[in-house]
Structure 1
Amino acid sequence: MASIIHSPLKFRPLTKEKYTIAIDGYSACGKSTLARALARRLGYSYIDTGAMYRAVTLHLQREGIHPDDVERVRDAVPHIHIEFRPEDNHVLLNGDDVEDEIRGLAVSQMVSPVAALSDVRRAMVEQQRKMGRNGGVILDGRDIGTVVFPDADLKLFVVADQETRTDRRLNELIAAGRDASREDVAANLKERDYIDSHREDSPLRQAEDAILLDNTHLNLEELIERGVEMVEAIKKG
């Protein structure tokens, strides 16, 4: 049965009209689905920070730069600008729509090592803070509630069991017309989990004041309703 485990900390009552909402969690746990749907429901902007790291990874791959080549990565980062196109939230890498290309397994297999690089993280965090500084925004990723916006008005940490996450990611790839085996997808998720949780710079972890939301057995509408409930809770304090 799905569960929501509340932080022992109480919500602080808020009077402002637009909040900053941070949603963190592991790959394929449903955090992006929740963030995107909740943003539509609330009329907020949505920032997929994982897509930003995927775009950086794609840029390095296009330039033939391996993550281990720290100097070349450092030189490349200032020339990477990422935006989200308002009408469909597609990722633009230096003006180029790369939404489809960044979702492939080739990028997935390299994104965690790239995202672990301090030069990359500093650059992306700076861009993310600029995007979300005025509130009315939902960001999802690995370190939103702990690093990017530690003072976010609402923090959620979304989880789902390994089997469910593997099935979801495999179905996404199949729906996109990409070849992938269940074994490869499962191995990729496990590897990314380990790298994201053990990197020195901004490791993936649940913020102390975040709410744990188990999404294993929730359908989309139930997931959205849980998010709306949390927003209503902070309004009431």
Structure 2
Amino acid sequence: MIIAIDGTLASGKGTIARRIAAWYGLPYLDTGRLYRATGVAAIRAGVNLEDGDLVAAVAASLDLNDFEEEDLRSAEAGVAASKVAVLPEVRAALLDLQRAFANQAAGAVLDGRDIGTVICPNADAKLWIDADLEVRAQRRHKELTASGDTITLEDLTQQLRERDARDASRKDAPMKKAADAALIDTTHLTIDAAVDKARSEIDMILARKD
């Protein structure tokens, strides 16, 4: 069974995806982590984030063990991820890795921005997770400041707005809701309520296919 969970940054999709994977006993992949790691590695190597071929070479040689979690959760890593994710060469370099993970015998849960539309268009269940921009900015700001980041809420809100636009308008695999994905708006939901709703939607989708 493959479950595709897409959505915007700080909408709660990562937490929902992890809990869904645990509930159904499936392997889990945060595909955004691949792009954050690629962006961070490219910066460390002094590679221009707009050079598709060079960044793709970085992506192809990634070792996620080279990164501490805080390195990948910073605001800088998020911006870098969004920039390298628009490069067709980078997306191609990471495509097979993601599909191989999804198609393992046990199935899998993957979260990202193009899982249900590009990586796993035939997934057994698809969710689109979203929330109001201001709420997402507040959530992300709280997370970053707790880890010592000094970015202001105003700057972060603008970063999220720009990232949404960049991710949704990129030519290759834009961020968008799959036509057959169930929408979950977490603006006014606790994480437990959002997970319960996600589980309910998945069960309904699977029941309709039986």
TM-score for both structures, normalised by structure 2: 0.93
1:231 matched residue in structure 2: 202
Give the Cα–Cα distance (whole angstroms) in 2 for the partners of residues 42 and 70 of structure 1.
37
Give the Cα–Cα distance (whole angstroms) in 2 for the partners of residues 214 and 76 of structure 1.
35
Letter in 1 for 2:87: L
CA contact (8 A) 1:55 1:98 kept: no
- Determine whether 1:156 maps to 2:138: no
2:176 matched residue in structure 1: 205
Give the Cα–Cα distance (whole angstroms) in 2 for the partners of residues 72 and 211 of structure 1.
37
* DSSP 3-state at the match of 1:100: helix
CA contact (8 A) 2:53 2:89 kept: no
Letter in 1 for 2:16: L
- Determine whether 1:44 maps to 2:14: no
Structure 1 residue 100: deviation in Å?
A: 1.4
CA deviations 1:142-161 (Å, max 9, x no partner) are 10000000000001111100
Partner residue of 1:128 out of 98, 106, 109: 98
Give the Cα–Cα distance (whole angstroms) in 2 for the partners of residues 170 and 146 of structure 1.
29
1:116 matched residue in structure 2: 86
Bigger RCO (CA 8 Å, 6+ sep):
1
Structure 1 residue 44: deviation in Å?
A: 1.6
Structure 1 residue 26: deviation in Å?
A: 1.1
Partner residue of 2:72 out of 102, 111, 130: 102
CA deviations 1:158-191 (Å, max 9, x no partner) are 1100111011100110222222210111011011
1:6 matched residue in structure 2: none
1:5 matched residue in structure 2: none
CA deviations 1:43-77 (Å, max 9, x no partner) are 22111011110001011011000122234224433
1:88 matched residue in structure 2: none
Question: Cα distance 1:179–1:149, how it changes in 2: closer, same or farther (>3 A)?
Answer: same
CA deviations 1:194-213 (Å, max 9, x no partner) are 10000000001111111111
CA root-mean-square deviation: 1.4
Q: Percent identity?
A: 39
- Determine whether 1:178 maps to 2:149: yes
2:111 matched residue in structure 1: 140
Give the Cα–Cα distance (whole angstroms) in 2 for the partners of residues 207 and 120 of structure 1.
22
Question: Cα distance 1:214–1:74, how it changes in 2: closer, same or farther (>3 A)?
Answer: closer
| 4+ aligned runs moved over 4 Å, structure 1 | none
Give the Cα–Cα distance (whole angstroms) in 2 for the partners of residues 62 and 72 of structure 1.
13
Letter in 1 for 2:10: A
Structure 2 gaps, min length 5 = none
* DSSP 3-state at the match of 1:44: coil
- Determine whether 1:168 maps to 2:139: yes
Give the Cα–Cα distance (whole angstroms) in 2 for the partners of residues 25 and 129 of structure 1.
18
TM-score for both structures, normalised by structure 1: 0.83
Aligned residues: 207
- Determine whether 1:55 maps to 2:37: yes
* DSSP 3-state at the match of 1:171: helix
Indicate the structure (1 or 2) with the bigger Cα radius of gyration. Answer: 1
- Determine whether 1:195 maps to 2:177: no
* DSSP 3-state at the match of 2:69: coil
CA contact (8 A) 1:58 1:102 kept: yes
Instruction: Describe how 1:12-23 pairs up with structure 2 within 5 A.
Output: 19-23=1-5
CA contact (8 A) 2:26 2:109 kept: yes
Partner residue of 1:72 out of 36, 39, 54: 54
